[in-house]
Amino acid sequence: MIIIPAIDIIRGRVVRLHQGDFSKETFYSDDPVETALMWQKKGATLLHIVDLDGARLGEIKNRTVIDRIIKKVSMSCEVGGGIRDEKDIEYFLRQGAKRVVLGTRALENPDYLEGVISKFGEGIVVSIDFAGKKVVKKGWQEDTDLKPDAVANQMQKLGVRTIEVTDIAMDGTLKGPNMEMLKKVLAAVDISVIASGGISSLDDIKALRDIDSKHLEGVIIGRALYEGKFDLAEAIRIAETHGT
């Protein structure tokens, strides 16, 4: 299991939202590139970059700063937030991103998803965000009646090889991950799953590691790292260690 620091960007600045609420924004840095290099220096091998303006508005808004991050770091990057068109997927992969994270468009248009998977393969990741027990979309602003585990299974059938699962009720709260739903998703698929939302302590890292699922690829962490709840290097050590 790998530890994946998150860089969430609004107006070119590093921020975190509380439970996906754009009115509850916490500012951390006005230099996303410097932040990315910091996480790389501390041992990160994969960075999760989200254009939150893009997620909310449905089109990429922080392209220039994301490009700069990808070019400056030597670790792998994945990019999400407002990526709806094939040309944007191709753009970021060509810039050097390891993969691109799709959300709303992937959920709404299976034919489109199958097409981009056919073209880009493992360069496509689908984000499944949920509140309560139902999936949300369009930058967490629109509810659906879909269950996360059912959507995960559908994504697998469409050819997706990696999904990211975020409980936005936990995201940015430091209240711990939604283990119940994560286990349901892991039981529903045979593809890579990345957990996100609520990580608060090294005990949370241990709990995720101890699920001991070969399909749990990693965990995305934001606020806990930015507020120094634990050290990234120590989290990486625990995530890579078997047993207690």
Distance of CA 173 to the CA centre of its chain: 16
8 labelled catalytic: yes
204 labelled catalytic: no
Strand duo 21-29 + 13-18: pairing: antiparallel
- Give the H/E segment covering residue 29: strand 21-29
Alpha-carbon distance of 178 to 222, in angstroms, equals 16
What phi, psi does 159 have (nearest 5°)?
A: 105, 0
Question: DSSP letter string over 74-137?
Answer: SSEEEEESS--SHHHHHHHHHHT-SEEEE-HHHHH-HHHHHHHHHHHGGGEEEEEEEETTEEEE
The catalytic residue among 53, 129, 149, 167 is: 129
Alpha-carbon distance of 50 to 77, in angstroms, equals 11
The catalytic residue among 8, 51, 53, 204 is: 8
SS (HEC) of 206-220: HHHHCCCCCCEEEEE
Alpha-carbon distance of 104 to 134, in angstroms, equals 14
* Cβ-contact 85, 113 below 8 angstroms: no
Active-site residue set: 8, 129
